[in-house]
Structure 1
């Protein structure tokens, strides 16, 4: 069974190795989906309490990146490298983390599953 929780944040970035308009500082309204896999606890009936996953993501990711410049954290903050960084931050704190999908713009996303 898979539990999904969706989050959003606003941030700026520039792609220093890109030959095009994204070389310049610009912003996005990012959205990301965190998926945790497991079986519901027999007593609680939950894989993980939604309140707990929200707390972990807020403390680990959103509190750092919302309304910030992502270049302060990553040299080349492409969607691919951002979602991999999010995985590295969350994986130790979320047992059963299965994948993270990040949307930089509507209709364009990247999914990372730790491989």
Structure 2
């Protein structure tokens, strides 16, 4: 028997991109930046092979059996993540990071905001960015410090 109406599911899709950046805050002195960011403050930058997991949520369509067409999700991710970020210097090639420190936390916010513009309202659930196998950021958009 097929699932009844109102069944909710979460669907995730992964991709990888490569980019370089320098962790550096214009609000801090060079000495403070070096102390805070260490080797990641290298004036010539450094690179990562990022992995991103995007999760959407919604009702399983009784006709298609899908929450979202994965082909559509793949295209949205291509436009929102790969085109602006892959093989880029985040600080120099991505306007968003001209005034925002290119930490993985802020990369996750950038991806969230770009996907929000493309996906049906209320479907984006989570963006998970792996800077390395050990450094991972999860961003769910709706959570802010002002809501506590």
TM bin, normalised by shorter chain, reads: over 0.9
Q: What TM-score comes out, normalization by structure 1 length? A: 0.95
**RMSD between superposed Cα atoms in Å:** 1.0
Greater fraction of residues in helix: 2
Match of 2:115 in 1: 90
The structure with the largest alpha-carbon Rg is 2
Gaps of 5+ in 2: 1-8, 26-32, 144-148
Gaps of 5+ in 1: none
- Deviation, 1:63, is 1.1
Match of 2:81 in 1: 61
Greater fraction of residues in strand: 1
Which stretches of structure 1, 4 residues or more, deviate above 3 A after TM superposition? none
1:78 is aligned to 2:107: no
- Deviation, 1:33, is 0.4
Mapped partners of 1:40, 1:105: distance in 2: 33
**Number of positions where the alignment pairs a residue of Structure 1 with one of Structure 2:** 115
Match of 2:23 in 1: 15
